[in-house]
Structure 1
Amino acid sequence: MGHYTIKMPDIGEGIAEVELVEWRVKPGDTVAEDQILADVMTDKATVEIPSPVAGTVLELGGQPGALLAVGAELIRLEVAGAGNVAAKAVQVAAVAAPAQAPAAAPAAPAAPAAPAATAAPAAAAPVPVQRPPVAAPVAMRAPGEKPIASPAVRQRAWELGIELQFVHGSGPAGRITHEDLDIYLVSGGQPRVASAGGAYAQRQGEEAIPLIGLRRKIAQKMQEAKRRIPHFSYVEEIDVTDLEALRAQLNERYGAARGKLTLLPLLARALVIALRDFPQMNARFDDDAGVVTRYAAVHLGMATQTDSGLLVPVLRHAETLDPWACAREIARLAEAGRSGKAGRDELSGSTITISSLGPLGGIVTTPVINHPEVAIVGVNKIVERPVFRGGAVVGRKLMNLSSSFDHRVVDGMDAAQFIQAVRALLESPALLFVE
């Protein structure tokens, strides 16, 4: 038997460093050729790293959140034959009974000046042995280790009376999911006993959650956008009563054959038409070179919330799509983003972006520009309000567009005129279908 070191491969596009997001294997696992070993993240997408050989996992090259340079040791296997490196003493963690062991706690994000790839691989923690349900919960984490979970999962756990400290997390970096809560309940996990005082009882404790994977990329991108771009926002109220009436008619007549229309495809069409007269909005600014590039094609970024964080899939050549084709592509991209199946080309190259929080859109937002673009259009929720029309008070459906622009290359007057052009199209929706 020999030892085989798998190094971080060059995945192209000039990428010199990646972030380790999740291990798909643990020490002691037997892996087959082409089996996925780990997920790593570049500046653009998550990439799966397969094994070029079959063998048994001896040692992992880092913890989730570590930065690995191309060529750094990713994982070490024991293989049949001589292998490709000289053997060294490696302590293999015992394989526990359960089919899937809890993931190791994520390390704090590595500092840029000293990437994890240059450090010695971290030793894998022994896998805890699964125990049958007992009357009192058994701690599944080391002292001081904090469970990782989303706010929604934490709220549900609180409502169910579950202490997250005792719940195994099957998500990336050991993150606890809703399914983990269900498994905990079915397996006989004991809920915590409410302390005296009920809802008004004093609470203790704190939690440190490292930013890794997509969450780290989002933080870096938002910080860079706000640092480099002098934003200014412009908000306009739009009467979408007629637009909503037309949408309802189109869905009633064509919904079964062509699919249902939401507001977004109609807004996308309005932007495409308005950008013909305002090409400076459909642009990207290379502030290092001092060059603004305007695009004839409209590659529309669609800000999409996923369980992992915010993604911006790109609706390419939106100018070529009718509202129904646009709706189908928006739905496809949103699903690809939420399921983690969006490719790099589907997550890059946008020229202007739409941001919408749907029914949670609030009255006004101040969206952050998707660098290096120069404009973003934010959609707020639709509300029905009384307004004066022809001297009478009538109920109308109103919606604000909250948009942000790069003041280095977009003047306030141009931004206002652009949004007014979009408003005119949405308030007279028949114009969306006139060429």
Structure 2
Amino acid sequence: MALYKFRLPDIGEGIAEAEIVQWHVKVGDRIEEDANLADMMTDKATVEMESPVSGVVVELAGEVGDMVPIGSTLAVIEVAGEDEVAERIDAETPDANPPLRIDAGEGDREAVEGRDAVAAVPAISASLPAVAPLHHPPEEAGGPPPLASQGEELRVLASPAVRTRATDLGIDLSHVKPSEDGRLRHADLDAYLRYNSAQGFGVAAAPRADEAIKVIGMRRRIAENMAASKRNIPHFTYVEEIDVTALEAMRADLNDNRGNRPKLTMLPLMIVAICKAVPQFPMINARYDDEAGVVTRSGAVHLGMATQTDAGLMVPVIRDAQAKNVWQLASEITRLAEAARTGKATSAEMSGGTLTITSLGPLGGIATTPVINRPEVAIIGPNRIIERPVFAKNPLGGDDIRRAKLMNLSISCDHRVVDGWDAASFVQAVRKLLETPVLLFAD
């Protein structure tokens, strides 16, 4: 038997440490060579760590959410083999190693210490306090008294419909006082619900215990980035209403004649409009290094696309969006969104954006005030499309009322770099392109 110390390898240029996002084993488990040991997150991506040997896990380097320096021991694995194999493993595993935390029981710790392993530290698990279930109000509190005292049985008169409704609401009929002739009716249930609601008792919903969730991995990255953005960037938001009636009609025509090309959503058309407007307003498509005091206006539009995933909001980047047509953009949007949601997006696909677009899709919203993806200086948020009647001038005089599809377009900007006039002028340029969609395809 020998102990193999698996040290965290260099998993990225310039990376000094990585965060434990998930353990796939626990102390005492057997792991096979090349099996997944842990998921580690750097500033840019999540990397799967595979075991280089087969054996039994005797030590782990921390808990989920802990940071592990590059080169330090991630796990200690007991391996079986001939003496020469043990000697080779010992030679590959230097003794210099900081103490490790071992999430093991008392017996496991004694066994590890008997093999001259690193001193074990007992794992400490915090347990949440139990939350007392909600009860009906006691009689002395002024609530309606039960019709049967404890230990007694009383036949409750009620129709099947009333009984079914009481069951669905979680109401014990013995606690409901009938209003007349000893028979319970729907009105009695309503009175009982009103009383309990006024007293703060939720009879229709089961109580839930408090849940403590450790902020780790992607959620922690998002929290840190958003906090840094709001702390360092003086945001302002501008919102404009856009008539997309003609644009939606054109999109429907394009989809009817798309052949085997991907179906178009509003997003590719929006991106084309943004890319056409950007050259007039280069301060929008930029990155600001506030430490160096340098604003870099990008010649190409590397458009970040905010994407909701199970791990949280991720922003894959469409490279050179200005060089792609609507069909290419539609394909790239689908590919990047799928890569982000499945965790297969590369570090290069998740960095280097110069401008971001974020949309709540079918959830819509009247208006949004999106948070800038630092170090970018602007983020654009299209909102829900709704139909409303609008007034239009009649060439023969007077006003006409017509049905229109309207959408609010939001933009948040870094006021250190972008003035309000510039942001408003940029949105007006985008508005003109979207309200006259033939311009999207004009040179």
Q: Which category describes the TM-score, using the shorter chain as reference length?
A: 0.7 to 0.9
Aligned to 1:84, which of 90, 93, 102?
Answer: 90
Matched ranges for 1:305-316 at <5 A:
305-316=308-319
TM-score with structure 1 setting the length = 0.75
Task: Name the CA distance, whole Å, in 2 between partners of 1:123 and 1:335.
Answer: 36
Does the CA-based 8 Å contact 1:3-1:86 persist in structure 2?
no
Task: Name the CA distance, whole Å, in 2 between partners of 1:343 and 1:381.
Answer: 31
Task: Name the CA distance, whole Å, in 1 between partners of 2:296 and 2:33.
Answer: 45
Offset of 1:85 from its aligned partner? 7.6
Does the CA-based 8 Å contact 1:231-1:406 persist in structure 2?
yes
Does the CA-based 8 Å contact 1:387-1:394 persist in structure 2?
yes
Structure 1 residues 310 and 428: CA distance shift in structure 2, 3 A:
same
Matched ranges for 1:233-312 at <5 A:
233-254=237-258, 256-312=259-315
**Counterpart position of 2:408:** 400
Offset of 1:208 from its aligned partner? 1.5
Structure 1 residues 250 and 201: CA distance shift in structure 2, 3 A:
closer
Deviation per residue, 1:152-187 (Å, 9 max, x gap): xxxxxxxxxxxxxxxxxxxxxxxxxxxxxxxxxxxx
Task: Name the CA distance, whole Å, in 2 between partners of 1:267 and 1:146.
Answer: 50
Offset of 1:379 from its aligned partner? 1.2
Task: Name the CA distance, whole Å, in 2 between partners of 1:37 and 1:410.
Answer: 47
**Which stretch of structure 1 is more off in the superposition, 10-19 or 329-338?**
10-19
Aligned to 1:226, which of 212, 223, 230?
Answer: 230
Offset of 1:146 from its aligned partner? 8.8
The secondary structure found in structure 1 opposite 2:283 is helix
Matched ranges for 1:176-187 at <5 A:
none
Does the CA-based 8 Å contact 1:146-1:208 persist in structure 2?
no
Letter in 2 for 1:42: T
**5+ residue gaps, structure 2:** 107-124, 131-168, 173-192, 194-201, 394-398
The secondary structure found in structure 1 opposite 2:242 is strand
**Counterpart position of 2:216:** 212
Letter in 1 for 2:30: T
Task: Name the CA distance, whole Å, in 1 between partners of 2:332 and 2:439.
Answer: 22
Deviation per residue, 1:246-304 (Å, 9 max, x gap): 000000011x3212100000001011110111111111000000000111111100000
Letter in 2 for 1:65: G
Residues paired across the two proteins, number: 345
**Counterpart position of 1:133:** none
**Counterpart position of 1:58:** 58
Deviation per residue, 1:166-211 (Å, 9 max, x gap): xxxxxxxxxxxxxxxxxxxxxxxxxxx9575775457363222110
The secondary structure found in structure 2 opposite 1:281 is coil
Letter in 1 for 2:221: K
Alignment of 1:337 with 2:340, yes or no, is yes
**Counterpart position of 1:107:** none
Alignment of 1:379 with 2:409, yes or no, is no
Structure 1 residues 228 and 125: CA distance shift in structure 2, 3 A:
farther
Does the CA-based 8 Å contact 1:20-1:38 persist in structure 2?
yes
Letter in 1 for 2:435: E
Does the CA-based 8 Å contact 2:32-2:54 persist in structure 1?
yes
Deviation per residue, 1:58-92 (Å, 9 max, x gap): 221111111111122111111233233899xxxxx
The secondary structure found in structure 2 opposite 1:378 is strand
**Counterpart position of 1:359:** 362
Deviation per residue, 1:3-34 (Å, 9 max, x gap): 00011111122111111001122233333333
Does the CA-based 8 Å contact 1:5-1:85 persist in structure 2?
no
Letter in 2 for 1:144: S
Letter in 1 for 2:426: F
Mark the structure with the bigger radius of gyration: 2
Matched ranges for 1:321-332 at <5 A:
321-332=324-335
Does the CA-based 8 Å contact 1:63-1:122 persist in structure 2?
no
**5+ residue gaps, structure 1:** 88-116, 127-141, 148-192
The secondary structure found in structure 2 opposite 1:84 is helix
Alignment of 1:144 with 2:127, yes or no, is yes
Does the CA-based 8 Å contact 1:3-1:85 persist in structure 2?
no
The secondary structure found in structure 2 opposite 1:280 is coil
Structure 1 residues 206 and 284: CA distance shift in structure 2, 3 A:
same
TM-score with structure 2 setting the length = 0.74
Task: Name the CA distance, whole Å, in 1 between partners of 2:56 and 2:388.
Answer: 66
**Counterpart position of 2:37:** 37
Does the CA-based 8 Å contact 2:27-2:102 persist in structure 1?
no
**Counterpart position of 1:14:** 14
Structure 1 residues 304 and 405: CA distance shift in structure 2, 3 A:
same
Does the CA-based 8 Å contact 2:392-2:402 persist in structure 1?
yes
The secondary structure found in structure 2 opposite 1:389 is strand
The secondary structure found in structure 2 opposite 1:279 is coil
Offset of 1:330 from its aligned partner? 0.2
**Counterpart position of 1:25:** 25
Aligned to 2:103, which of 100, 108, 123?
Answer: 123
Task: Name the CA distance, whole Å, in 2 between partners of 1:31 and 1:204.
Answer: 37
Structure 1 residues 26 and 143: CA distance shift in structure 2, 3 A:
closer
Aligned to 2:436, which of 402, 418, 428?
Answer: 428
The secondary structure found in structure 2 opposite 1:298 is coil
Letter in 2 for 1:389: A
Does the CA-based 8 Å contact 1:258-1:324 persist in structure 2?
yes
Task: Name the CA distance, whole Å, in 2 between partners of 1:389 and 1:208.
Answer: 55
The secondary structure found in structure 1 opposite 2:433 is helix
The secondary structure found in structure 1 opposite 2:372 is coil
The secondary structure found in structure 2 opposite 1:243 is helix
Letter in 1 for 2:263: K
Deviation per residue, 1:302-343 (Å, 9 max, x gap): 000001100000011101110001000000000011111111
Structure 1 residues 118 and 195: CA distance shift in structure 2, 3 A:
farther
**Counterpart position of 1:370:** 373
Deviation per residue, 1:114-143 (Å, 9 max, x gap): xxx9663232469xxxxxxxxxxxxxxx88
